[in-house]
């Protein structure tokens, strides 16, 4: 069932329900963010750029969410780059 007004709510369903005197379920039925929009905002979990950089997710967030192209890695991760440098020529 699609929402009547497909928008992202600025407040939680519970807060809106208390404000308007209805149930939280009623608020979710009337106002809900479209799935395509939600997936676009949360696609980072699917792409997992921290793996391409050879680091943990928490390290990736701590470093300010760098993307592989920003580090000049050309898509290869740090671990692979270190291993390539360590190999004798």
15-62 pLDDT, tens digit each: 999 999 999 998 888 888 888 888 888 788 788 888 888 999 899 889
**2 within 8 A of 33, measured Cβ to Cβ:** no
Q: Is residue 41 a contact partner of residue 15, using CB atoms and an 8 Å limit?
A: no
DSSP one-letter string for 5-63 = B----SS-HHHHHHHHTS-HHHHHHHB---HHHHHHHTTHHHH-HHHHTTS-HHHHHHT
Query: How far is residue 77 CA from its own chain's centroid?
Result: 20
Determine if residue 55 is left, alpha or beta; phi over 0 gives left, psi from -120 to 50 gives alpha, anything else beta.
beta
Q: What is the reported pLDDT for 14?
A: 93
Q: Is the pTM of this model over 0.75?
A: no
Q: What is the pLDDT of residue 15?
A: 93
- The answer to whether residue 89 scores a pLDDT higher than 70 is no
Higher pLDDT: 65 or 70? It is 65
CA distance 3 to 53: 39
């Amino acid at each position: 069932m699609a929402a009547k007004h497909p928008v992202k709510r600025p407040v939680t369903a519970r807060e809106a329900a208390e404000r308007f005197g209805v149930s939280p379920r009623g608020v979710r039925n009337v106002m809900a963010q479209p799935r395509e929009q939600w997936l676009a905002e949360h696609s980072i979990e699917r792409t997992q750029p921290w793996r391409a950089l050879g680091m943990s997710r928490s390290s990736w967030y701590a470093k300010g969410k760098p993307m592989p192209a920003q580090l000049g890695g050309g898509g290869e991760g740090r671990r692979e780059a270190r291993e390539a440098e360590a190999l004798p020529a």
